[in-house]
Amino acid sequence: MQSINEIEELVKLISKLPGLGPKSAKRIVLKLINNRDELIKPLANTLAQVYKNVVRCNLCGTLKSNSTACSNCEDTKNKFTKICVVEDIADQWSIENSNIFQGYFHILGGTISSVGQKKEDLLINSLVERVKKDNIDEVILATSATVEGQTTAFYIQDSLKKTYVKVTKLAQGLPVGGEIENLDDGTLFSAFKNRTGIKSNSD
Amino acid sequence: MQSINEIEELVKLISKLPGLGPKSAKRIVLKLINNRDELIKPLANTLAQVYKNVVRCNLCGTLKSNSTACSNCEDTKNKFTKICVVEDIADQWSIENSNIFQGYFHILGGTISSVGQKKEDLLINSLVERVKKDNIDEVILATSATVEGQTTAFYIQDSLKKTYVKVTKLAQGLPVGGEIENLDDGTLFSAFKNRTGIKSNSD
């Protein structure tokens, strides 16, 4: 490798990003260097902007611009009555992309049993506050179908016991395109347990 | 996706990097945001440093620090007598990593027939000057074994005709680990043509 410190440093930093190793980092650095004005400059500026301007909302956990109100929980234009609770911002993005849900989001910031994550680190208290304060009639728990996700969902359900809000969780069953022979026992169990009627005895 | 402009911009920029698409860019952005001080800040700073300090050397084409002499062609500590000519900085890095070559590098910046690349864009004239000026006894053409790479090598060989330097090019043949049944005809042809003696008739 070139003995230029900045380049070495850049390769080292980029190798830390998910899905990238030293080889792909070098390829990226070369691309950057060959596109100084189209890539390095805007990337450095945008990163500085994000560092300066983008923060996590204390109330709902989503990303918001430092200078403006949170477009999720402090949205005054749209008055929603549902809150969808997810683990991470990535989950919010996926659900937003699917256009399947119209309402507020609440990003916990992890799950209860994940390593080093305590209940207190998750935005659960502020969820209870939001439910009490705003005119919410349903909390949809969209945590992962993992042990940690379901434990977290159970804990939240418990925390919301004293409010009068309806709490639901996402259905479990066959994923679209799922072939029976390839499904795990847990999914099959859920699919059987939650089977839906399509014709009654009397039809 | 979140309606924060900086985040969208960052995802867009990162998607442009080689090997990355919108999905992996989003994953990287999330990792960045979750590691503001360990990743975003140093990355923004290093990119700005690289933009400010790292330039291509006009003479040999490698990357050099703006403030110092080129560690490749203006290296006064080591006096080499060989120049290895490569297409890109990535090639230089590969050869440096292999520790197989001790000498100067000369980075052309592409090949002759590649799209939009003209002879004048490549650092060929400065190579001839280096050969004349410095005490060089061999120029090793390490361009790719592609039509473009070989055309470029031929053109350089022609440009060096009037100097008294020895010009060599890398051997062509079986790559290490290459299985005969999987090799293309061109490689097989080279391997046969350049076959080396291991025992003579009289042994």
| Span A65-123, pLDDT tens digits | 888 888 788 766 778 889 999 998 889 988 888 888 889 999 998 888 756 667 778 89
HSE on the CB side for A84, CA within 13 Å? 22
Give DSSP secondary structure letters for B58-70.
TTT--EEETTS--
Helix axes B22-34, A41-53, angle to 10 degrees: 50
Task: State how far the Cα of A120 lies from the Cα of A110, in Å rounded to an integer.
Answer: 11
Contacts of B33 in chain A (CB under 8 A): 50, 54, 63, 89
Closest-CA distance, B161 to chain A, in angstroms, reads 31
Q: What is the dihedral of CA A21, A26, A28, A32, to 10 degrees?
A: 150
CB spacing of A53 vs B90 below 8 angstroms: no
CB-closest option in B3, B39, B92 to A16: B39
Among A39-43, B37-41, B71-75, B160-164, the range scoring the smallest mean pLDDT is: B71-75
HSE on the CB side for A60, CA within 13 Å? 23
Say how far residue A167 (Cα) sits from the centre of its chain. 19
CB-closest option in B19, B42, B48 to A13: B42
Confidence (pLDDT) at B1: 45
Question: What's the whole-number average pLDDT of chain B?
Answer: 87
Degrees to nearest 5, angle at CA B58 with B141 and B125 = 50
Identify from A3, A5, A7, A97 which residue to disrupt to test chain B contact, counting B C-beta atoms within 10 A and taking the largest count: A7
Nearest residue in A to B16, CA atom = A39
Under CATH, what is the fold of the domain B5-56? Answer: Helicase, Ruva Protein; domain 3 (1.10.8)
Secondary-structure percent of chain A, ordered helix, strand, coil, rounded to 5: 45, 10, 45
- Name which residue leads in pLDDT, B198 or B37: B37
Contacts of B4 in chain A (CB under 8 A): 54, 63-65, 71
- pLDDT tens figures, B84-121: 999 988 899 888 888 888 899 999 988 887 566 677 78
Task: State how far the Cα of A32 lies from the Cα of A25, in Å rounded to an integer.
Answer: 10
- From 3.40.1360.10, 3.40.50.720, 3.40.980.10, 3.40.50.800, which CATH number describes the A82-169 domain? 3.40.1360.10
CB spacing of B51 vs A36 below 8 angstroms: yes
- pLDDT tens figures, B127-149: 999 998 888 899 999 998 888 88
Confidence (pLDDT) at A76: 65
Note the pTM of the prediction, 2 decimals: 0.74
Task: State how far the Cα of B136 lies from the Cα of A21, in Å rounded to an integer.
Answer: 37
Name the residue ranges covered by the structural domains of chain A. 5-56, 82-169
Q: In chain A, what percentage of residues exceed pLDDT 90?
A: 36
Q: Give the containing element (helix H, strand E) for A169.
A: strand A166-169
Confidence (pLDDT) at A2: 46
Contacts of A10 in chain B (CB under 8 A): 43, 46-47, 50
Confidence (pLDDT) at B203: 63
Confidence (pLDDT) at B16: 93
Among A91-95, A109-113, A196-200, B182-186, the range scoring the smallest mean pLDDT is: A196-200
Token code pair at residue B132: 């004349």
Task: State how far the Cα of B47 lies from the Cα of B45, in Å rounded to an integer.
Answer: 5
Under CATH, which architecture does the B70-169 domain have? 3-Layer(aba) Sandwich (3.40)
